[in-house]
Amino acid sequence: MRFNDSSRIQPRPRGAVDPDASEAEKQDDTPPSEVSLRERIAHFTWPWFATTMSTGAVAVVVGQTPNRFPGLQTIGEIFFVLDVVLFVLFTGLMMTRFVLVPAKLSASLHHPVEGLFFGSFWVSISLIICCAQTYGVPNSGPWLVKALEICFWVYCAVVFVVAVGQYFILFHLERLNVAEAMPAWIFPIYPLLVVGPMAGAMIPSQPLDAAWNMWIGAVMFQGLGWTVAVMMYAIYIQRLMGSRLPDPPVRPGMYVSVGPAGYTAAGLISLATRAPNVFAGSKLTTDNTALNGNIIREIGILAGLFLILFAYWFFFLSSVAVASGFRKMTFTLNWWAFVFPNAGLTLATIQAGIVLKSPGINGVASALTVMLVMLWLVIAPIHVRAVWQGEILWPGKDEDKTMKDMPWGRWARVPAGLVV
């Protein structure tokens, strides 16, 4: 099966030449006009998992949003099942890519663009775990509660190693330009930023000892994620102050900056509301545990509320930036940043509405939920159309187009001894 490019021609990466092309085509630095399915799969990149992040995030938000109505739970379950199907499909395609072009496995992990999105694979897993808690635990036995506890700790251990390893690789092998800094630089630590909300959802169904351990672990991992994110925020703000805005096609990626503050605020408030019950069996203190739990609850809620407007500030800043360049925007996988980071903001708003018992805040949370679902329903067909027309998943048009000394598709063979 072969595909024709029906999209606008874009520049071909330097040195990537079709050996079967005519001499005139070899001099033309543009992507090929016709490729095979095999060649397209060779360009299935990590940012595709932004789709599963967004789908899982919508399922989580729908499962927690206030002002519920009959059928809402079913909508969330549909998004959950779709998320699992897409995740399995995308994982299979990614494995196929690395079988076709083995050198791209290592190259993709330290590539200055594609490599940053490796974290989206792990965030997708965390959202599936959270959905299993929301939609699975009420309809299954205690075995799932125990399985989710194990998944939680395995996830935390793996993403901690990923965060250390990937930042080391980027520090050691790449030289990123601060003038081009994007919120995506946070992605290697992003999987830790969703640990708090995930634990907050899981703790009520866990036995007391397991809940206590999970609560402490979530606080520590969320703290690590937020601390690293703050440092990356500083670099990103320096870029915005000293350079121009990102180009319009990638400007939706600015919404990634909403996520760290949003998910951290949601995690802090959610964990805070669990504190009185968790500290009833606490090993931290031996007397007045209920009082201590209530104190921690109030501190955690205030800490979460302290961060929420920071997330909203980035949300509105990014919205203005996107609106200013909307006419020049073309579809990229960055468009999924319209959904998954703003899901963190929505979860934080939901938690704020719960603890403050505010109908107004609950109304805002419901409006944000509707917005996320509508954005997903708009972006998904645009994504499919972009694939069909060859705007993405095409040699020279994806995040791997600048991989050093690595031609495209079926010609992606690295010479012996070459280190990529």
Q: How many structural domains comprise the chain?
A: 1
Say if 419 falls within a structural domain: no
How far apart are alpha carbons 125 and 115 in whole angstroms?
17
> Which pLDDT band, with edges at 50, 70 and 90, does 420 fall under?
very low
Residue 99 has pLDDT above 70, yes or no: yes
Mean pLDDT computed over 316-327: 94
> Which pLDDT band, with edges at 50, 70 and 90, does 18 fall under?
very low
Question: Domain with 298 in it: what CATH number?
Answer: 1.50.10.150
Q: Are 369 and 375 in contact (CB under 8 A)?
A: no
Say if 420 falls within a structural domain: no
- 47-56, 121-130, 155-164, 284-293: the lowest-pLDDT one: 284-293
Q: What is the pTM for the complete model shown?
A: 0.88
In this structure, what DSSP letter does residue 129 have?
H
pLDDT in tens, 153-167: 999 999 999 999 999
How far apart are alpha carbons 361 and 396 in whole angstroms?
45
Task: Quote the percentage of the chain above a pLDDT of 90.
Answer: 64
Mean pLDDT of the chain: 87
Say if 26 falls within a structural domain: no
Say if 183 falls within a structural domain: yes
Q: Are 409 and 415 in contact (CB under 8 A)?
A: no
Mean pLDDT computed over 99-107: 88
What six digits make up the tokens of 15? Answer: 């040195």
Say if 399 falls within a structural domain: yes
Q: What pLDDT was estimated at residue 179?
A: 84
Say if 212 falls within a structural domain: yes
- 50-54, 274-278, 345-349, 393-397: the lowest-pLDDT one: 393-397
Residue 36 has pLDDT above 90, yes or no: no
| Of 220, 193, 63, nearest in space to 126 by CA | 193
Say if 94 falls within a structural domain: yes
Q: CB 245: neighbour CB atoms within 10 A?
A: 15
Q: What pLDDT was estimated at residue 172?
A: 85
> Which pLDDT band, with edges at 50, 70 and 90, does 416 fall under?
very low
How far apart are alpha carbons 68 and 65 in whole angstroms?
7
Q: What pLDDT was estimated at residue 287?
A: 60
Which stretch, 32-41, 195-204, 282-291, has highest mean pLDDT? Answer: 195-204
Say if 242 falls within a structural domain: yes
Q: What pLDDT was estimated at residue 145?
A: 95
How far apart are alpha carbons 30 and 28 in whole angstroms?
6
What six digits make up the tokens of 228? Answer: 């690293």
Q: Are 302 and 221 in contact (CB under 8 A)?
A: no
Q: Which domain holds residue 249?
A: 2-19+34-411
